[in-house]
Amino acid sequence: MKDLKKQIEELQTQLKRHRRSSLKELPTRTIFIDPLLGALGWDIRDPDEVELEYPTIDGKAVDYALKINKKPVVLVEAKALNDPLDDVKSIAQIVGYAANDGVEWCVLTNGIRYKVYSSSQKAAAPNKLLFEVSIDPEDPANQPIEQIVSHLSRLLRDSLARGVLDELGEEIFTTAKVRKALDRLFLEQNDSLMRVVRKAIGDEGITPSQIRSALARIWHGEAADATSRIATAPKRARRREALRGSREQREYGEAHHTTGKPAEVIELYRGLDRICQDLAPGHITRRHLAKYIAWAQEKRIFCTAHLLRSGLKVWLKIEPSNIPPDATYARDVSHIGHWGVGDVELAIDNMENLRNAERPIRSSYEAEIRRNPGYSG
């Protein structure tokens, strides 16, 4: 890890020199990609370990094939330094090469950003993105170098040999599929689901319609809350609320924050939402604003988050002095300009950090409860 950190720091220095020089693909490979692959434990001089210009079945070639036991496990396609890596054709091409060759993982990189795709997922090529990481210190994600190292370490030769990337992909993509299936079940709320829930409750006095309403509050709290507000407001207020709600949804719906984000980031966001919703099922609302998402109880915001390409920035309303010394993912932003609400910022870029964040999120929520003693949720 020390060698990888040192190499990243050296490449960041190189980036200062070459940022505006419009390096073509070959010098980008020589100056940036080859050294980083070396720091990740790949010997680019050994064709049994790294095959350059790896031939594809259609007669073309991929820049690198990373091999274990002489078998390709990751295909890497390089682009010029200033390439934004957003071209759908380029993404589909490298994903297609990997799928056709039976290789699960592929990487699209400009030497600074590394976008890691799964070739086997049943989705459009851009939606097969598992995670991405940038070594650029000026990237909006503003990741500490320790987090950059943590992300890139998934591409270490030893990590791939141990199946670390396979495990991460299975966790993220499978969780996403199960979550979508649950969303569909809760949305449809068919009779069989009602029977299962009613049986588990063990109270025959609860009607299916009551169960449906409760499921809507628990699973989609913000939608149920908005519906309740509109239904009980005066007619003129209802009209204003409906117009405002439709306008906000049109401008800043969930897709405004999730479109184009890697699967890992979306699942981190879903996990954060579930943590917040579970604090008071049916009483937590979620609003999608221009720059961040806010969670609140009775209009009192206790958690806000901004989705980046590499993770989440989460802000909480707790005292910075309460940050545990070992919480390296948290910092005091009381004197730093930032989006969201709160004086403590959490940088959440993996599931472990998200699990560790549950306690400070609850602390922020409970602080809001104390500020509003009349609330009985």
In angstroms, the CA 282 to CA 279 distance is 9
| 227 lies in some domain | no
| 106 lies in some domain | yes
Provide the residue range defining the domain that includes 135: 2-162
- How many structural domains is the chain composed of? 2
Indicate which CATH number applies to the domain containing 321: 3.90.1150
Indicate which CATH number applies to the domain containing 15: 3.90.1570.30
Identify whether residues 9 and 156 lie together within a single domain: yes
**pLDDT string in tens for the chain (377-residue length):** 779 999 999 999 999 999 988 899 999 999 999 999 999 999 999 999 999 999 988 888 999 999 999 999 999 999 999 999 999 999 999 999 999 999 999 999 999 999 999 999 999 999 999 999 999 999 877 788 999 999 999 999 999 999 999 999 999 999 999 988 887 887 777 778 888 888 898 887 888 888 888 877 776 654 433 333 333 344 454 454 444 444 444 458 899 999 999 999 999 999 999 999 999 988 899 999 999 999 999 889 999 999 999 999 999 999 999 887 878 889 999 999 899 999 999 999 999 999 999 999 999 999 988 876 654 44
In angstroms, the CA 144 to CA 274 distance is 27
Beta bridge partners, 54, equal: 62
Starting at the edge strand that comes first in sequence, how are the strands of the sheet with 105-109 ordered?
Answer: 50-55, 61-68, 71-78, 105-109, 113-118, 129-134
| 330 lies in some domain | yes
Domain boundary among the residues 162, 180, 211 is at 162
In angstroms, the CA 125 to CA 45 distance is 31
Identify whether residues 29 and 148 lie together within a single domain: yes
In angstroms, the CA 255 to CA 249 distance is 10
| 203 lies in some domain | no
The values of phi and psi at residue 160, to 5°, are: -65, -35
Identify whether residues 19 and 125 lie together within a single domain: yes
Identify whether residues 260 and 158 lie together within a single domain: no
Domain boundary among the residues 162, 194, 216 is at 162
Identify whether residues 150 and 260 lie together within a single domain: no
Identify which of 259, 255, 257, 256 has the alpha carbon closest to the alpha carbon of residue 127.
Answer: 259
pTM of the model: 0.84
| 210 lies in some domain | no
Domain boundary among the residues 140, 162, 184 is at 162
